[in-house]
Structure formats: structure tokens, C-alpha cells
């Protein structure tokens, strides 16, 4: 290498800031849970789940099967929280997907696991799992749903009570994203999807 040439600067990790943001939101949720503060839990969970949907969307931009015109994630429906403060958090929910100028709406099963240092609360790692192997038509949202408990249908007009359905992936998870130190081989871990699986 010539004396006037320098090494290119190292590439910045595009997810480093979101790792810390997710860790901070997780710590806020832990504080609210430990403090038995229902409103604080609601607020912390609202901000955390919104940021998780956005972060997952950034992770999946490079995945061909998620290359759908106009795809965006509207958020998480019916989140179920399993927390072990101050170090472990799991959220299972339905990821609401929207595409094609807001004409196509469907749900994918979603799971997020976060690990923090139990002593310092610092980020250790996380794992996103999303999607399953059913055709998108089987996951389509029909009518206007309210909190996954009611659906308003227009033709004929009626309000339908919905039974809760757990966000279990059919045929295994379609996508898995792991960052940082995350224990492999945990109970409930399924193999990753075949590379040719499509939405």
C-alpha cells in the first residue's frame, strides 16, 4: 500500500443505535412491571412494540420474500408479554402487515426475545421471529377489526365477536433475525425457514 493511501473507515453498524433503544425501552417496561403500574406498562409496551415493528421492517428490507410493493408494518396486535426482570423479555403477538397502497392487510405471527445484562441492564442480544408458511390469503384481514376482539363488516353491516387466536406459526417461522449474544437451542426454538419460502 502506498504511503498516501489509507484504509477506508470501518462501516458503521446500522442497528447499533436501535439495539440500545430497544434495551432502554425494555428497561422502562421492566420498571413499570415491577412497580405494578398498569398505565406505565401500557405506555412502555406501546412505544416498545411500535419500535420493534419498525426495527423488524429495517431488518427484512434485504430479505427477498418481504420485497412486496409498498410493504409496511402497522404494529403488533394482542401482545402477550413474558418478562423476567431485569434480564429477559419475550413478546408474542400478531404483526399487522400492509401493502399495495394500503389495499392489502394481513397478519403474521411474531415473537421477540430480548436479553439484557442482569447486573447493568445493558444490551446483550435479541431475536425476532416473524411470519409462517400459510399463503397470504389465509392471513388476510377482512373488515375493520377492533383490538382482535371484534370485526366490523360492511356488506351486510354487522359486528362479529372474534375468538382470540394465539400467534403460533404454521409450518415453523418464516424469518429469524438474531443480534448480539443470544442463547441458541432454547426451548421452543424451531429451525429457520427454507430459503425459497415466500409470503
> How does pLDDT run across 88-142, given as a tens digit for each residue?
999 999 999 999 777 888 999 999 999 999 999 999 999 999 999 999 888 888 7
Residue 31: is its pLDDT beyond 60?
yes
Q: CB count, 10 Å around CB of 47?
A: 13
For residue 27, what pLDDT is reported? Answer: 97
Q: Measured between alpha carbons, how far is 182 from 113 in angstroms, rounded to an integer?
A: 9
Q: Binning pLDDT at 50, 70 and 90, where does residue 155 land?
A: confident
Could you check whether the bond before residue 156 is cis, i.e. omega within 30 degrees of 0? yes
Q: Tally the residues of the chain.
A: 199
Task: Give me the sign of the Cα torsion angle 29, 31, 37, 39.
Answer: negative
Strand pairing class (104-116; 157-161): unpaired
For residue 119, what pLDDT is reported? Answer: 95
Q: Any idea which of 85-89, 136-140, 146-150 has the lowest mean pLDDT?
A: 146-150
Domain boundaries, the chain: 16-134+164-180
* Helix (H) or strand (E) run with residue 124 in it: strand 123-130
For residue 186, what pLDDT is reported? Answer: 55
Amino acid at each position: 500500500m502506498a504511503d498516501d493511501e489509507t484504509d477506508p473507515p470501518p462501516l458503521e453498524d446500522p442497528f447499533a443505535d436501535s439495539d440500545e433503544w430497544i434495551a432502554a425501552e425494555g428497561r422502562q417496561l421492566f420498571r413499570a412491571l415491577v412497580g405494578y403500574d398498569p398505565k406505565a406498562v401500557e405506555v412502555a409496551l406501546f412505544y416498545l412494540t411500535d419500535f420493534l415493528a419498525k426495527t423488524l421492517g429495517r431488518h427484512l428490507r434485504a430479505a427477498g420474500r418481504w420485497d412486496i410493493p409498498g410493504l409496511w408494518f402497522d404494529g403488533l396486535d394482542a401482545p402477550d408479554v413474558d418478562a423476567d426482570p431485569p434480564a429477559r423479555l419475550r413478546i408474542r403477538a400478531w404483526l399487522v402487515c400492509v401493502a399495495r397502497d394500503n389495499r392489502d392487510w394481513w397478519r403474521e405471527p411474531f415473537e421477540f426475545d430480548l436479553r439484557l445484562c442482569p447486573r447493568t441492564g445493558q444490551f446483550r442480544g435479541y431475536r425476532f421471529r416473524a411470519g409462517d408458511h400459510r399463503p397470504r390469503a389465509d392471513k388476510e384481514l377482512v373488515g375493520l377489526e377492533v383490538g382482535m376482539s371484534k370485526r366490523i363488516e360492511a356488506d351486510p353491516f354487522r359486528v362479529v365477536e372474534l375468538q382470540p387466536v394465539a400467534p403460533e406459526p404454521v409450518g415453523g417461522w418464516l424469518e429469524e433475525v438474531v443480534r448480539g449474544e443470544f442463547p441458541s437451542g432454547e426451548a421452543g426454538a424451531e429451525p429457520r425457514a427454507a430459503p425459497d419460502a415466500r409470503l
